[in-house]
Amino acid sequence: MKLRRTSLSINYTPKNHNTNPTQLQANLTLLLILKAHFLVYAFLWLGLAATAFSLPPKFYDKVCPQALPAIRKVVEAAVHRERRIGASLLRLHFHDCFVNGCDGSLLLDWTPAFVTKKNARGNLDSVRGFEVVDQRVKWI
């Protein structure tokens, strides 16, 4: 028995395959619009999920009515001592909240067993105001 070598080539073009450039452009545009809608809805859903687990604005008014006035006194005294500390506190808040939400991870002190964001290279000489936050915690 002798095997014979044969070549088989298949040329298949789907019936609905359209190579019209205008139609291809329209299909790509529609695909981009669908992707954009998906991203918008994904971000909205993430935003709603994040706010669903946050504290209501008046939470401390009921639980600890002295908290906000005490914090205000400490911050006002710090701003009176050094005018730029207000902007530094805003920057501290931004660096803590922008990446993973306001988890306070930037406020944690470094230990040999636990490396924190407070001493990270990007925050080492740029973020300040930690002493004001520590004073606020002592008041409360």
Domain boundaries, the chain: 19-54, 59-139
Q: How far is CA 130 from CA 7, 8, 51, 139, in A?
A: 76, 75, 26, 15
- Residue numbers in the known binding site for Ca(2+) are 96, 99, 101, 103, 105
Asked whether 91 and 127 are in contact (CB, 8 A), the reply is: yes
Catalytic residue among 17, 80, 93, 95: 95
Element (H, E) at 34: helix 21-52
Please give the chain's pLDDT, 140 residues, in tens.
Answer: 555 655 555 555 556 666 677 777 877 888 888 888 788 877 777 776 666 667 777 888 888 888 888 888 888 888 889 888 888 888 888 877 776 777 777 777 777 777 777 666 666 666 777 777 777 766 66
What does the pLDDT read at residue 122? 66
Report d(CA 117, CA 110) in Å as an integer: 8
Is the domain defined by 59-139 classed in CATH 1.10.520.10? yes
Cβ neighbour number for residue 101 with a 10 Å cutoff:
12
Residue type, 127: V
Q: Is the pTM of this model over 0.85?
A: no
What does the pLDDT read at residue 18? 61
Bridge partner residues of 107 (DSSP) = none
Q: How far from each other are the two terminal CA atoms of the chain, in whole angstroms?
A: 95
Q: Identify whether 37 is a catalytic site residue.
A: no
- Residue numbers in the known binding site are 96, 99, 101, 103, 105
Report d(CA 100, CA 120) in Å as an integer: 16
